[in-house]
């Protein structure tokens, strides 16, 4: 199979319906580093729903990436899925994410860019999540997929230009928040939806060229969002209106993610580094605050 531009953009993918509960929100928060210190009362409202925290449960905005998780569209796209990697993730919050709800999710292929034969392709995948009762939009997700084996399909010359990455300020960060991931972090995170064996099966990981399973990129993303909510939002996830970042290096469970944060009014820039290896795992990060 190969990409056929008109067929790819014309894919009619079914709208999915799903429900999520407070338990799902707490599992996601735990899976992205919340509650690592069980005495941190700023984080407990993300992971505890009773006692003194009854009625105060919060959801991280990045949890939207695992609601209605379904990557089956890729196998209908014509892309060589063995060569596909997640390039960027954008999240636009039309309203704060509730800790539980019933939702509808509609995915479409927004655009595809041909980088040339042997150079791959860039595909933008948009998912709009709506409240299943009111039908109001809650979140719009845009994933940038780098299809390394699919260049040369011939995209139209008049297509809109691809989005440019956010530029990180050229100064020292205003704050850095470090958190060590757990050795079993990916085993928790996979229960949020993404069961790719690359993140759990040592034999599969070795066949893919890694010495051991790697952390989900969106788990790293969630760790960075947790740091921004902590360091720039005073633990109030409702302040987040938009998030974007580019994936630049895989993380091994057990490594320490240091999130550098720059604050310029309602624009927050961030970059996630791996302290042990000195690599940048997420770059060009931006959060727009309400």
Which of the residues are catalytic?
194, 199, 214, 217
Contact 75, 84 (CB under 8 A): no
* Dist. CA 53–CA 46, nearest whole Å: 9
* Dist. CA 217–CA 32, nearest whole Å: 11
Contact 58, 46 (CB under 8 A): yes
Task: Dihedral sign for Cα 86, 267, 253, 31, please.
Answer: negative
In the chain, which ranges are continuous DSSP H helix? Answer: 5-9, 22-31, 44-47, 185-189, 202-207, 217-232
* Dist. CA 199–CA 216, nearest whole Å: 6
Count Cβ atoms within 10 A of the Cβ of residue 269 and give its class: 0-12 exposed, 13-18 middle, 19 or more buried.
Answer: buried
* Cα 269 from chain centre: 16
Contact 219, 252 (CB under 8 A): no
């Amino acid at each position: 199979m190969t990409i056929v531009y008109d067929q790819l953009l014309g894919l009619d993918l079914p709208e999915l319906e799903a429900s999520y509960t407070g338990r799902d929100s707490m599992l996601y928060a735990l899976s992205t580093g919340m509650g690592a210190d069980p005495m941190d009362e700023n984080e407990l409202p993300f992971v505890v729903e009773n006692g003194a925290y009854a009625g105060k449960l919060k959801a991280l905005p990045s949890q939207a990436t695992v609601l209605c998780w379904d990557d089956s569209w890729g196998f209908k796209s014509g892309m060589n899925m063995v060569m596909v990697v997640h390039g960027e993730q954008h999240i636009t919050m039309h309203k704060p994410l509730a800790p539980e709800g019933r939702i509808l999710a509609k995915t479409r292929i927004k655009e595809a860019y041909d980088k040339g034969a042997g150079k791959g392709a860039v595909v933008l995948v948009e998912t709009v999540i709506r409240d299943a009762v009111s039908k109001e939009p809650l979140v719009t997700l845009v994933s940038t997929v780098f299809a390394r084996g699919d260049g040369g399909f011939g995209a139209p010359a008049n297509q809109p230009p691809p989005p440019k990455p956010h530029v990180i300020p050229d100064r020292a960060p205003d704050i850095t928040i470090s958190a060590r991931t757990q050795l079993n972090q990916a085993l928790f995170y996979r229960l949020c939806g993404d069961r790719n064996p690359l993140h759990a099966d040592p034999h599969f990981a070795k066949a893919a060229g890694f010495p051991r399973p790697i952390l989900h990129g969106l788990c790293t993303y969630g760790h960075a969002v947790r740091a921004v909510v902590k360091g720039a939002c005073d633990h109030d996830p409702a302040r987040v209106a938009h998030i974007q970042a580019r994936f630049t290096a895989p993380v091994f469970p057990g490594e320490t993610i240091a999130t550098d944060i720059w604050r310029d009014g309602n624009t927050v820039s961030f970059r996630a580094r791996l302290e042990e290896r000195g690599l940048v795992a997420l770059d060009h990060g931006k959060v727009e605050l309400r």
